[in-house]
């Protein structure tokens, strides 16, 4: 409905695991299919380090692409939380060639605006801030903002794409990466090359402070006004004590009130170097025809030094943590366990656990909580949130039924996790997981956009798109013993953070029923 | 950052030089502006045409081959919809749609169906929405013959297993309980109710009461009324040979006889505008959600194409008016949209929507109103209309870029009886739209004076009183409780009740013996029908009136002990000792109080109510029914008209899964225990199905009770980590 949904987090609960990290993928006959896929696929890295993965899929005269920047909210330090996402928004604001009536004059106006903002901010954040002076500085800032705005052609960047028939124009930021994507008719590849090289060659931070207001509205809408997201923000910040995964991707309100154009420029220069970017293109295009166009446009971008590596490693959790959100909304129950990064050798084992416990009507959680005990209306696991590039979290979520208590749900969830530690899963369960994973991968190959995003994601994570297919072999090798071993490592009290919403109303206790039989 | 910058600059020069040297063929002139790009012609693309066949039984079959991947998908559309359901059973269509699939078939139980499909990574789902019903199927092409057979079996022969009805009912009820948690959910729901009218099938919502009114028979009848092959369109797309798959369809669906069409039903909705401001106060949020508008149009409206172009100008893309002005220029919202909506066979809604911080609620309303007014005050310009048309036409190819999209469009057009070349007509229609038509459409279909404005958000902190924008009405979103038919108490039936109670007291051993009762200990054997099957349980229980009990159940898997006293309540299970949740303690206390002797002991309590309900049959014999209310519970006792002996009772109880339902206990084998008459056989049913069958072997009255009876064992304590 709204074409303007920058997806900060693609957070659709039922599809979360798949959407955030499509590792439930597998392929029919792996090695063979990788070979056939290899034939259609061209990988090319420009001299400046930007990698392109091109898949020829001439189904209809269209193509899609996804550009992944290997930077996310985990690269933020205190004071600039929300900046990775803010930059993503700014990447829609145009360049010296797009979105302006007079770039020279506009550039000067933006510099003056930023100077006015810096003076005002210094006053505002000073412990001895003078209200009168602050007011004057604010007035000055507003005036500069108005002046800079006179040169702006509103949303010209997006307008060009809309006009030329682009669809699905969007972007997202999570803790690990920032992704940009859309689809165009097949004859407009050069337009994509022009626009996408422009936006990362010389982005212009116009309308920055207005857009910051938009992002603040996004925070209010997505997090502050949604009970489940309020809880999730709390549980994640409780689970991580040192690693930046504990920061919300959209940022804290105080930081959104304070990040500046200067911050955004620094961030851009540090992280948006070509070697930190990968673009996957899928559709009715021919590699040998588009490679010269790619060289011509993306080759314009100068080499940059590799961004600094993240230093902080989350220490081993030693104490169980519990977050209770007393809220007017209905109960929710979540448990989070620390798990290794997605590149870890055991990642397929976590997929097997997800599948056997949570996927479909044959899953253990569905059969116990939803079908038999009727204490939950849905049960779901998800990983990759807030990220999976670094060691992250594995979540079990249950939505309690109207009459059920979070205690009952907790008992039932724990029983299934415990069972996994002491009993082998059945042959049928293991086989079902592998069959389903393979079929899911096949299903994921029929969308240009989906495929482009998967290739870009795998390249960003593993440095090689082929992992998308090789992952199958690893998945196929998962054994019952692996599942028991991993369950015993991960499902420990000391590795757990529990989060729940407890309904707070006058009759909260009376409203709760029970799931015990009459006796 | 200066150092970094210098490095970058130098590197840039090197690369630029390297590029010029390594790619001499490349044109030196860099493209500066987008208009400098020349596009090659878009290659010709023949949109594949699906094959359409009508079977003898009236089933319309649409087939489209797509051999790229070894997959097949099917979609079924059925002429039905929740808009056709009776007002007192809202939710019937949705529940039926779900349980057709989840409730099993005549040849496969629900679990067999789930195991079979998921074992092959296949999916079969069914559903009924507001305007239609249907199903979907997806499988690997190698499994098509098997899965198509299952798909046909599911839609043709559902058995609506009671237990799966309860799963679905529980889910719907739980969703109702959560309907006010999400602000946008409230906003769109209430707006629909205000515009279409709250009783309209296009707006009304299920309640606990309408869900409780739905029976399995209703679902069987619904399926029988609407699910006929002559009311369906079946589409298949994927890796198959059309001739072969058509033979398969004939095999699986062809033998399904035609059915009679139900009489056409009128679906009413209000066409009278309801201007004014409506407000839902919701304080656990930091924004106001704002929506405004009125009725929209139908897709067969002759002005449809100009309206589509107008929508594009208003809110169709990044540079549309709403996005440029409300979002980018004013920074008021992250999410803002608006369009004159259209539906295939009734008027859609014209809606403008945004969310903005509480402090700019008034500013936000004004911004949307201004944009609505400007559609006529500053009518769409040549440039705007040209861009809007260009955008729609240039992206037109994306309507047909996959076989699945093409198939689903055909099914929808077929379902609503629209011409099958509608998409081509659409393109022609858009091409012909003139600026004059767009301006006329704006004037004709946007009427700010008729706007219903609805706001959901906190009261504290609003910048202007909402009355500024029209007469204000508060909207009550309290979720209605389950309406139960109340038994009406009168002086007469209470007097008769007192007499019945007296006869029961006599039959039980008389006032003296009953009032001297302090505790009952009993042991026995019970056969329980649980979700895991029948189980034999050994039971041993002590009740010390009025508030203590201990119950020991020896299950096949271990022993569970439940203890409740004035100050403690715990469960002792093989997993350890855990505190008993408050809700469960409450339920156990209720079941303790539901003993005839306990009720008799409480007969003089001022809160004890008893009233005669008349004579009716109970467990195959005539009985006087006695309505009893005590401590929040309502129980119907059945008394022998001759002796006054209690034959049994009926009440709202819960089964092992916690689902509430009608519990009936039948007492027999009365024996004398120290002057009290007590049943040694108790048989319970739950919603008419066998539940518990208890044989009591021993009863002791006023036996020794020590502190140990109710003491906590010295066992390890289970984890207690949550509040």
Tell me what pLDDT residue B535 has: 86
Contact A61, B397 (CB under 8 A): yes
Backbone angles phi, psi at A410, to 5 degrees: -60, -45
Residue-wise pLDDT for B243-298, tens only, equals 999 999 999 999 999 999 999 888 999 999 999 999 999 999 999 999 999 999 99
Residue B135 CA from chain centroid, whole number: 17
**B-contacting residues in A 267-296 (Cβ below 8 Å):** 269-270, 273, 284, 292, 295-296
Q: How far apart are CA B108 and CA B97, in angstroms?
A: 18
Distances in Å between the Cα of B249 and the Cα atoms of B116, B149, B568 are 20, 9, 64
Q: Does domain B51-183+198-253 have CATH number 3.30.830.10?
A: yes
pLDDT above 70 (res B164): yes
Distance separating alpha carbons of residues A197 and A195, to the nearest angstrom: 6
pLDDT of residue A29: 40
Give chain A's mean pLDDT.
90
Rounded mean pLDDT, B573-586: 77
Q: Tokens standing for B259? A: 């059915």
Position A95 pLDDT exceeds 90: yes
For chain B, give percent helix, strand, coil, nearest 5: 40, 30, 35
Query: Do the domains B51-183+198-253 and B276-474 sit in the same CATH topology, yes or no?
Result: yes
DSSP string, A255-309: HHTT--HHHHHHHHHHH--GGGEEEEEEES--HHHHHHHHHHHHTTSPP-PPPPP
Instruction: Decide if A185 and B327 are in contact by the 8 Å CB cutoff.
Output: no
Q: Decide if B658 and A4 are in contact by the 8 Å CB cutoff.
A: no
Q: What is the mean pLDDT of residues A395-410?
A: 95
Residue of A nearest to B287 (CA): A220
Q: With bands split at pLDDT 50, 70 and 90, how would you rate the model's confidence at B719?
A: very low
| pLDDT score at A395 | 97
pLDDT band at A15 (very low <50, low <70, confident <90, very high): very low
Facing A164 at nearest CB: one of B335, B394, B582: B394
Token digits for B330? Answer: 């004013």
Share of residues in chain A with pLDDT > 70 (%): 91
pLDDT for B590: 84
Is the predicted pLDDT of residue A46 greater than 50, yes or no?
yes
CB atoms within 10 A of CB B516: 14
Q: Which residues does chain B have within 8 Å of residue A231's beta carbon, measured at their own beta carbons?
A: none
Q: How many CA atoms lie within 13 A of B237 on its CB side?
A: 20
Q: Express each pLDDT in B467-523 by its tens digit.
A: 999 999 999 999 998 887 667 788 888 899 999 999 999 999 999 999 999 899 999
pLDDT of residue B593: 86
The whole-number pLDDT of residue A203 equals 98
pLDDT at B28: 40
* Cβ <8 Å between A513 and B32: no
Confidence of residue B657 (pLDDT cuts 50, 70, 90): low
- Closest chain A C-alpha to B676 CA, distance in angstroms: 22
End-to-end CA distance of chain A: 52
Q: What angle do CA A234, A238, A240 make, to 5 degrees?
A: 125
Sheet containing strand B71-78, strands side by side:
B51-54, B60-65, B232-238, B71-78, B133-140, B123-128
Interchain contact A484–B (C-beta under 8 A): no
Which residue is closest to A5 within chain B, CA to CA?
A: B335
Task: Please state whether B42 falls in left (phi above 0), alpha (psi between -120 and 50) or beta.
Answer: beta
Q: What is the pLDDT of residue B579?
A: 80
- For residue A423, give the nearest of A343, A340, A487 by alpha carbon: A487
Judged against a pLDDT cut of 80, whether residue B637 lies above it is answered with: yes
Higher pLDDT, B702 or B115: B115
Domain map of chain B by residue range?
51-183+198-253, 276-474, 491-710
CB-CB under 8 Å, B334 with A374: no
Q: Are A49 and A303 in contact (CB under 8 A)?
A: yes
Cross-strand partners of B61: B53, B234
A321-442+464-511 — its CATH code?
3.30.830.10
> Inter-chain contact A435–B663, Cβ cutoff 8 Å?
no
Section B388-408 average pLDDT: 96
Burial of A319 (0-12, 13-18, 19+ CB in 10 A): exposed
* Coil, strand or helix at B446: coil
Question: What secondary structure, in 3-state letters, does B613-672 show?
Answer: EEEEEECCEEEEEEEEEECCEEEEEEECCCCCCEEEEEEEEECCCCCEEEEEEEEEEEEE
Interface check for A121 against chain B (CB to CB < 8 A): the answer is: no
- What average pLDDT does this structure show over B71-93? 96
For residue range A251-282, what is the model confidence (pLDDT) as tens digits?
999 999 999 999 999 999 999 999 999 999 99
Q: Do B291 and A1 form a contact (C-beta atoms < 8 A)?
A: no
Q: For residue A451, give every residue at least 6 positions away whose Cβ sits within 8 Å of its Cβ, in sequence order, or none.
A: A55, A57, A64, A280, A282, A444, A445
CB A16 within 8 A of CB A232: no
Q: Which residue has the tokens 């109103």?
A: B369
CA-CA distance, B237 to B66, in Å (whole number)? Answer: 7
Query: Residue A175 and residue A173: Cα distance in Å, rounded?
Result: 7
Q: Which pair of structure tokens corresponds to residue B279?
A: 């407000």
Grouping H, G, I as helix, E, B as strand and the rest as coil, residue B65 is strand
pLDDT value of position B583: 66
- Interchain CB contact of A460 with B (< 8 Å): no
Which of the residue ranges A42-51, A106-115, A497-506, B134-143 would you say has the lowest mean pLDDT? A497-506
Model pLDDT, residue A509: 42
Query: With contacts defined as CB-CB under 8 Å, which chain B residues touch A282?
Result: none
For B337, the closest chain A residue by CA position comes to: A2
pLDDT at position A105 is 98
Predicted pLDDT at A147: 97
Domain boundaries, given as residue ranges, for chain A: 101-151, 321-442+464-511
Kindly give, in sequence order, each residue whose CB lies less than 8 Å from that of residue B148, ignoring residues fewer than 6 positions away.
B74, B137, B248, B249, B252
Counting one residue from chain A and one from chain B, the pairs whose CB atoms sit within 8 A come to 363
When comparing pLDDT for B666 and B11, which is higher? B666
What are the residue ranges of helices labelled H in B509-627? 511-515, 582-593, 596-601
Confidence of residue A517 (pLDDT cuts 50, 70, 90): very low
Contacts of A215 in chain B (CB under 8 A): 334
Interface contact flag, B318 A28, Cβ < 8 Å: no
Contact B16 A187 (CB under 8 A): no
B276-474 to CATH, choices 3.30.830.10, 3.40.50.2000, 3.40.50.10490, 3.20.20.190 = 3.30.830.10
CA-nearest of B323, B302, B334, B455 to B384 is: B323
The residue with greater pLDDT, B568 or A246, is A246
Nearest CA in chain A to B356: A217
Question: Min CA distance, A427 vs chain B (Å)?
Answer: 11
For A119-150, the three-class secondary structure string (H helix, E strand, C coil) is HHHHHHHCCCCCHHHHHHHHHHHHHHHHHHHC
Question: d(Cα B541, Cα B552) in Å, to the nearest integer?
Answer: 6
- How confident is the model at residue A519, as a pLDDT? 33
**Kind of pairing between the strands at A62-69 and A277-283:** antiparallel
Span B119-143, pLDDT tens digits:
999 999 999 999 999 999 999 999 9
Residue B652: closest C-alpha in chain A: A518
Tens of pLDDT, residue by residue over B295-328, are: 999 999 999 999 999 999 999 988 899 999 999 9
> What pLDDT does B316 receive?
93
Q: Are A86 and A248 in contact (CB under 8 A)?
A: no
For residue range A277-301, list pLDDT tens digits in order: 999 999 999 999 999 999 999 999 9
Select the residue of A167, A207, A269 nearest B328 (Cβ to Cβ).
Answer: A207
CA–CA distance from A80 to each of A199, A251, A306 (Å)? 22, 8, 21
Distance from CA of A337 to the nearest CA of B (A): 15
> What band does B555 get if pLDDT is binned at 50, 70 and 90?
confident
**Pairwise CA distance, residues B480 & B483, whole Å:** 8
Give the pLDDT confidence score for residue A512 in this predicted structure.
38
| CA A386 to mean position of chain CA atoms | 7
Task: Name every residue whose Cβ is closer than 8 Å to that of residue A407 and which is 6 or more positions away in sequence.
Answer: B581, B722
Q: Could you give the angle at which helices B304-315 and B382-394 cross, rounded to 10 degrees? A: 100
A303 in contact with B, Cβ within 8 Å: yes
- The residue of chain A nearest to residue B336, with distances taken between CA atoms, is A2
Model confidence over A187-240: pLDDT tens digits? 999 999 999 999 999 999 999 999 999 999 999 999 999 999 999 999 999 999
Pairwise CB contact (< 8 Å): A159 & B317: yes
A4 contacts chain B (CB < 8 A): yes
Q: Which CATH superfamily is domain B491-710 in?
A: Lipoprotein localisation LolA/LolB/LppX (2.50.20.10)
Residue B104 and residue B108: Cα distance in Å, rounded?
6
User: Pairing state of beta strands B342-343 and B297-298?
Assistant: parallel
> With 60 as the cut, is the pLDDT of residue A25 above it?
no
**Which chain A residue has the Cα nearest residue B34?**
A191
- A513 phi, psi to nearest 5 deg: -95, -155
**Radius of gyration (C-alpha) of chain B in whole angstroms:** 35
Which of A226, A303, A374 is opposite residue B658, by nearest beta carbon?
Answer: A374
Q: Calculate the alpha carbon distances from A252 to A194, A219, B179, B183, B356 in Å.
A: 35, 9, 28, 22, 18
């Amino acid at each position: 409905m709204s074409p303007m949904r920058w997806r900060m987090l693609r957070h659709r609960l039922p599809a979360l695991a798949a959407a955030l990290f499509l590792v439930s993928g597998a392929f029919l006959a792996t090695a063979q299919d990788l070979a056939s896929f290899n034939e259609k696929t061209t990988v090319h890295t420009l001299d400046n380090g930007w990698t392109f993965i091109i898949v020829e899929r001439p189904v209809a005269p269209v193509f899609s692409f996804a550009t992944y920047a290997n930077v996310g909210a985990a690269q933020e330090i205190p004071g600039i939380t929300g900046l990775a996402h803010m930059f993503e928004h700014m990447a829609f604001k145009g360049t010296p060639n797009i979105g302006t009536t007079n770039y020279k004059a506009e550039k000067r106006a933006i510099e003056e605006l930023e100077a006015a903002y810096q003076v005002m901010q210094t006053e505002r954040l000073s412990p001895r801030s003078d209200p009168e002076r602050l007011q004057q500085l604010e007035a000055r800032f507003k005036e500069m903002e108005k002046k800079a705005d006179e040169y702006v052609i509103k949303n010209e960047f997006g307008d060009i794409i809309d006009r030329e028939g682009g669809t699905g124009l969007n972007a997202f930021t999570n803790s690990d990466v920032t992704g940009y994507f859309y689809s165009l008719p097949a004859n407009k590849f050069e337009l994509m090359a022009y626009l996408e090289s422009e936006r990362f060659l010389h982005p212009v931070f116009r309308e920055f402070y207005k857009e910051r207001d938009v992002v603040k509205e996004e925070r209010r809408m997505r997090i502050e006004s949604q009970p489940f997201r309020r809880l999730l923000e709390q549980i994640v910040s409780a689970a991580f004590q040192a690693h930046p995964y504990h920061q919300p991707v959209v940022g804290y309100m105080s930081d959104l009130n304070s990040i500046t154009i200067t911050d955004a420029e620094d961030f851009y220069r540090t992280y948006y170097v070509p070697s930190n970017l990968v673009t996957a293109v899928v559709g009715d295009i021919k590699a040998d025809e588009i490679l010269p166009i790619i060289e011509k446009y993306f080759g314009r971008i100068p080499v940059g030094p590799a961004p600094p590596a993240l230093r902080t490693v989350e220490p081993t959790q030693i104490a169980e943590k519990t977050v209770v959100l007393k809220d007017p909304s209905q109960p929710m129950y979540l448990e989070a366990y620390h798990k290794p990064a997605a590149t870890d050798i055991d990642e397929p084992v976590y997929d097997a656990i997800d599948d056997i416990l949570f996927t479909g009507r044959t899953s253990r959680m569905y059969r116990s909580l939803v079908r038999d005990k009727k204490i939950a209306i849905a049960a779901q696991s998800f990983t990759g949130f807030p990220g999976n590039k670094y060691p992250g979290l594995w979540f079990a979520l249950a939505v309690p039924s109207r009459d059920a208590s979070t205690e009952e749900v907790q008992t039932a969830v724990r029983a299934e996790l415990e069972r996994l530690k002491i009993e082998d899963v059945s042959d049928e369960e293991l086989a079902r997981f592998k069959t389903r994973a393979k079929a899911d991968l096949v299903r994921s190959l029929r969308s240009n956009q989906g495929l482009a995003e998967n290739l870009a994601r795998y390249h960003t994570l593993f440095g090689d798109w082929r992992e998308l297919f090789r992952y199958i072999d690893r998945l196929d090798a998962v054994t019952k013993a692996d599942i028991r071993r991993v369950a015993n490592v991960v499902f420990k009290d000391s590795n757990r953070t529990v989060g729940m919403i407890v309904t707070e109303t006058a009759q909260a206790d009376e409203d709760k029923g029970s799931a015990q039989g009459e006796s | 950052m200066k150092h970094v910058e210098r490095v970058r600059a130098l590197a840039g020069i090197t690369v630029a030089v390297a590029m010029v040297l390594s790619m001499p063929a490349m044109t030196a002139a860099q493209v500066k502006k987008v208009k400098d790009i020349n596009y090659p012609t878009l290659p010709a693309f023949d949109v594949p045409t699906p094959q359409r066949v009508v079977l003898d039984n009236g089933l319309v079959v649409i087939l489209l081959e797509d051999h790229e991947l070894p997959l097949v998908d099917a979609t079924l559309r059925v002429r039905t919809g929740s808009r056709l359901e009776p007002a007192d059973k809202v939710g019937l269509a949705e529940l039926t749609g779900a349980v057709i699939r989840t409730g099993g078939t005549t040849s496969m139980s629900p679990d067999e169906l789930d195991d079979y499909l998921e074992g092959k990574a296949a999916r079969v789902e069914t559903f009924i929405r507001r305007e239609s019903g249907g199903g979907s199927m997806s499988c690997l092409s190698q499994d098509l013959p098997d899965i198509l057979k299952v798909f046909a079996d599911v839609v043709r022969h559902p058995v609506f297993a009671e237990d799966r009805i309860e799963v679905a009912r529980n889910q719907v009820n739980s969703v109702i309980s959560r309907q006010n948690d999400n602000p946008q959910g409230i906003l769109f729901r209430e707006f629909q109710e205000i515009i279409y009218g709250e009783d309209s099938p296009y707006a009304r919502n299920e309640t606990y009461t309408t869900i409780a009114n739905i029976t399995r028979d209703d679902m069987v009848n619904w399926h029988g009324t609407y699910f006929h092959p002559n009311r369906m369109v079946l589409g298949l797309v994927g890796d198959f040979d059309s001739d072969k798959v058509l033979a398969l369809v004939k095999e699986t669906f062809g033998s399904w006889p035609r059915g009679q069409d139900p009489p056409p039903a009128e679906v009413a909705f209000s066409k009278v505008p309801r201007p004014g401001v409506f407000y839902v106060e919701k304080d656990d949020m930091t924004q106001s959600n704002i929506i405004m508008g009125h009725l929209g149009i139908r897709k067969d409206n002759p002005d449809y194409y100009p309206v589509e172009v107008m929508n594009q100008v208003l809110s169709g893309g990044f540079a549309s008016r709403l996005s440029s002005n409300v979002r980018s220029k004013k920074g008021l919202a992250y999410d803002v949209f608006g369009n004159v909506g259209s539906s295939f066979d009734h008027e859609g809604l014209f809606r403008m929507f945004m969310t903005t911080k509480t402090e700019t609620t008034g500013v936000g309303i004004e911004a949307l109103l201004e944009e609505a007014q400007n559609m006529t005050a500053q009518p769409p310009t040549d440039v705007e209309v040209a861009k809007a048309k260009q955008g729609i036409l240039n992206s037109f190819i994306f309507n047909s870029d996959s076989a699945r999209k093409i198939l689903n469009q055909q099914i929808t057009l077929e379902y609503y009886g629209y011409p099958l070349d509608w998409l081509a007509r659409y393109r022609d229609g858009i091409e012909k739209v003139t600026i004059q038509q767009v301006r006329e459409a704006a004037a004709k279909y946007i009427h700010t004076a008729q706007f219903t404005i609805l706001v959901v958000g906190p009261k504290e902190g609003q910048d202007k009183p909402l009355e500024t924008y029209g007469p204000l009405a508060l909207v009550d979103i309290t979720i209605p409780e389950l309406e139960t038919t109340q038994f009406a108490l009168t002086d007469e039936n209470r007097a008769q009740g007192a007499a019945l109670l007296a006869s029961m007291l006599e039959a039980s051993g008389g006032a003296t013996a009953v009032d001297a009762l302090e505790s009952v200990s009993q042991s026995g054997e019970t056969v329980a029908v649980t979700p895991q099957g029948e189980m034999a349980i050994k039971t041993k229980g002590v009740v010390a009136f009025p508030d203590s009990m201990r119950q020991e159940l020896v299950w096949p898997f271990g022993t569970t002990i439940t203890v409740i006293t004035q100050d403690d309540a715990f469960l002792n299970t093989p997993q350890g000792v855990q505190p008993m949740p408050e809700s469960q303690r409450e339920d156990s206390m209720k079941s303790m109080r539901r003993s005839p002797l306990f009720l008799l002991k409480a007969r003089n309590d001022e809160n004890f109510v008893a009233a005669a309900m008349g004579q009716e049959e109970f467990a195959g014999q005539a009985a006087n029914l006695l309505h009893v209310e005590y401590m929040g519970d309502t129980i119907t006792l059945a008394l022998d008209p001759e002796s006054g002996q209690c034959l049994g009772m009926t009440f709202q109880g819960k089964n092992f899964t916690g689902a509430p339902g009608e519990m009936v206990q039948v007492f027999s084998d009365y024996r004398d225990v120290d002057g009290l008459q007590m049943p040694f056989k108790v048989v319970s049913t739950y919603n008419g199905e066998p539940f518990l069958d208890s044989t009591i072997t021993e009863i002791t009255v006023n036996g020794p009770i020590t502190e140990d009876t109710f003491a906590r064992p010295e066992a390890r304590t289970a984890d207690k980590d949550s509040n």
